A and B are shown apart, each in its own frame.
Chain A
Amino acid sequence: MKLELRSVSKTFLSRRGDIRALQDISLNVAAGEFVCLLGPSGCGKSTLLNLIAGLERPDAGEVRVDGRAVAGPGRDRVVIFQEAALFPWLNVQDNVAFGLAAAGAPKSEQRDKAKQYLRLVRLGSFRRAFTHELSGGMKQRVALARALALEPQVLLMDEPFAALDAQTRDSLHDELQDIWAQTGKTIIFVTHNVREALVLGERVLLMSARPGRIKREFKCELPRPRHIEDHALVDATRQVLDDLREEVLKAQQEEVERERLAA
């Protein structure tokens, strides 16, 4: 499934003045690509993801999926959020089957798919558990299974591992690379962590802050599976970090400037 953004802009209105979250973004993502959106917080990368998800509408430009304009959320593009957003009133299996149940799939299909994808994230034995009994990493794996169970073409991941401890995050990086290799999904992964972007992405898009633009693009062709401590990765990280630092500084200066003007 091909994703296409054509000169997309998005502005949020607020009492403190309008915030131009995204300005004139054009982007093509080929089917099966793993793209990371990298940028400092507040650069509009989550907004970009929400536009692709159909959770928000662009003010200008358009988002196309396989040539059709996105009109709203769809099961072909499932979002995984920073907080797992599992439903506490359902057990793990029913959480994973949620999308299928909402679509009216037969019970047997719901059960089989839920089991299948829970096994894929290695949580087959936690089917009957409730969400408050799971660790943070397990919750995110359930959220991943829940998204995969809908068999979407595109996975939209919004800093899904940002709240996890380093060890858990590393193992989820391995797992996600495996799953991507096995399923061939198109993945768009938002992160503010340079190394994470380079571990996961084929392509890393560096975004600038207000207005959010795509500033640079890095290809990352290091062999997989990649690990966060690989030497080649550390070198690549340094290069990206230099670019990013400029952006962070610019964002900070802008804040200072705004405060000064407001005072």
Chain B
Amino acid sequence: MSGWRLRLAFFVALLAAWEALYRLNLWPSYVFPSVSSVGASLVNGFGDGTYPLAIAVSLRRILIGYGLSLTIGIPLGLLLGRVKFVQDTLGSIVLGLQALPSICWLPLALLWFGLSERAILFVVVMGAVLSVTLSTADGVHNTPPLYLRAARTMGARGLMLYTRVILPAALPAIISGMKLGWSFAWRSLMAGELLYVSLGLGQLLTMGRELNDMAQVISVMFVIVAIGLSVDRALFSPIERRVRERWGLQHAA
């Protein structure tokens, strides 16, 4: 047994253990729900349209928030990696703010933007933008000097050097930053939605708690994991692998 079979067997065993534990009746079902009730909750949620609606709302938010993060983060990173003045000034702020969990921005965001969509987008952007910026800056900063020398001796300079050499050379790092930024954005969004009621998957979690419906809470958690993971696996990993392979950073498997 190897690879996916082993994994499948492991998960089946895990579910069986969960169900067995439930049947020992150690805890009331609103504390420790059964596998089947979580499954039923999933089916119901998709059946009556509440999950698809919540997913749509959350996805819309993350698309906007993540999109904004990239539009701000990548150019900022390009500046940060290349312009000494920006590095010495903004650079330290970016590094410092990176240490701040994005949900800490929520109180400020609520004061500035009120109970609005914009407040939550702000939290998402603050969560994702800095990691995108830092990775991009890193990539730019680590452009192999040899590429620059080769390009300069072939007559490339100024903006041309930037668009044709530095930017593509930094692409693997930029993609890593985008991937990291995505997972930060997703976490920030869930945290924001949890604390501040407004549709979306995070609110479904809060609702489940308020209704003592642990089956719903766990089934929504599954949905959140599934979305986060599938974007990572289906979108970023293949792109990252291809780029790293072509850039000679890793050998073809």
Whether A102 lies near B151 (C-beta < 8 A) is yes
Binary contact readout A5-37 vs B (1 if CB under 8 angstroms, 0 otherwise):
000000000000000000000000000000000
* Assembly CA distance A252 to B152 (angstroms): 35
Per-residue CB proximity of A225-253 to B under 8 Å, as 1/0? 00000000000000000000000000000
Min distance, Cβ A78 to any Cβ of chain B, angstroms: 5
CB-defined interface of A81-117 with B at 8 Å, one 1/0 digit per residue?
Answer: 1010101110000000011011100000000000000
B83 at interface (Cβ–Cβ under 8 A)? no
Please tell me which stretch of B13-21, B67-75, B198-206, B241-249 contacts chain A, meaning at least 4 of its Cβ atoms lie within 8 angstroms of it: B241-249
Q: Are B246's CB and A55's CB within 8 A?
A: no
Tell me how many residues of A have a C-beta within 8 Å of chain B: 28
In the complex formed, the residue of A with least CB distance to B252 is: A132
**B151 and A130 within 8 A (CB):** no
Contacts of B7 in A (CB 8 A): none
Q: Mark out the residues of chain B between 187 and 237 whose CB falls within 8 Å of any chain A CB in the assembled complex.
A: none
Inside 8 A of A87's CB, which chain B residues have their CB?
147, 165, 168-169
The interface stretch among A57-65, A69-77, A197-205, A211-219 is: A69-77
- Counting CB contacts under 8 A, is B160 at the interface? yes
Max count, chain A CB within 10 A of own CB: residue among B151, B155, B168: B155
Give, as a whole number of angstroms, the nearest-CB distance from B99 to chain A.
33
Q: A88-B246, A89-B171, A131-B248 are in contact. Are A102 and B156 (CB under 8 A)?
A: yes
Interface presence of B149 (CB below 8 A): yes
Tell me the chain A residues, 146-162 only, with Cβ under 8 Å from chain B: 146-147, 150, 156
Q: Is B248 a contact of A75 with CB atoms below 8 Å?
A: no
> Residues of B contacting A75 with CB < 8 Å?
154-155
Q: Are A101 and B153 in contact (CB under 8 A)?
A: no
| CB atoms of A55 and B149 under 8 A apart | yes
Asked if B164 is at the interface of the complex by the 8 Å CB criterion, the answer is yes
Q: B31 on the interface (CB 8 Å rule)?
A: no
Question: Which of A53, A72, A78, A98 makes the CB contact (< 8 A) with B164?
Answer: A98
Which residues of chain B come closer than 8 Å to A79, judged between CB atoms? 149-150, 153
How many pairs of A and B residues are in contact by the CB < 8 Å rule? Answer: 65
Q: With the chains together, A87 CA to B246 CA distance in Å?
A: 10
A74 to B155, CA, bound (A): 6
Q: Shortest Cβ distance from A139 into chain B, in angstroms?
A: 10
Does B146 lie at the interface of the complex (its beta carbon under 8 Å from any beta carbon of A)? yes
Contact of B150 among A72, A85, A89, A130 (CB under 8 A): A85
Is the CB–CB distance between A55 and B154 below 8 Å?
no
A55 touches B164 (CB 8 A): no
B146 touches A83 (CB 8 A): yes
Q: Give the nearest-CB partner of B164 in chain A.
A: A102
CA distance A72 to B155 in the complex (A): 10
Interfacial chain A residues near B252, Cβ < 8 Å: 132
Chain B residues with CB under 8 Å of A150's CB are 154-155
Q: How far is the CA of A88 from the CA of B150 in the complex (A)?
A: 13
User: A50's closest neighbor in chain B, by CB?
Assistant: B149
Docked CA distance A102–B153 (Å)? 11
CB of A152, distance to nearest CB on chain B (Å): 9
Closest residue of chain B to A90, judged by CB? B168
What's the minimum C-beta distance from A76 to chain B, rounded to whole angstroms? 9
Cβ–Cβ < 8 Å partners of B146 in chain A: 81, 83, 85
Instruction: Give the Cβ gap from B68 to chain A, nearest Cβ, in Å.
Output: 27
Q: What are the residues of chain B within 8 A of A102 when measuring CB–CB? A: 151, 154-156, 160, 164
* Other A-B pairs, 18, CB within 8 Å; known A73-B155, A78-B154: A54-B153, A55-B149, A75-B154, A79-B153, A87-B147, A87-B165, A87-B168, A88-B246, A98-B154, A98-B164, A99-B154, A99-B155, A102-B155, A102-B156, A132-B245, A132-B252, A150-B154, A150-B155
Residues of B within 8 A of A (CB): 146-147, 149-156, 160, 164-165, 168-169, 171, 245-248, 252
Nearest 9 CB-CB pairings of A with B: A99-B154, A85-B150, A75-B155, A102-B156, A89-B168, A79-B153, A88-B247, A73-B152, A132-B248
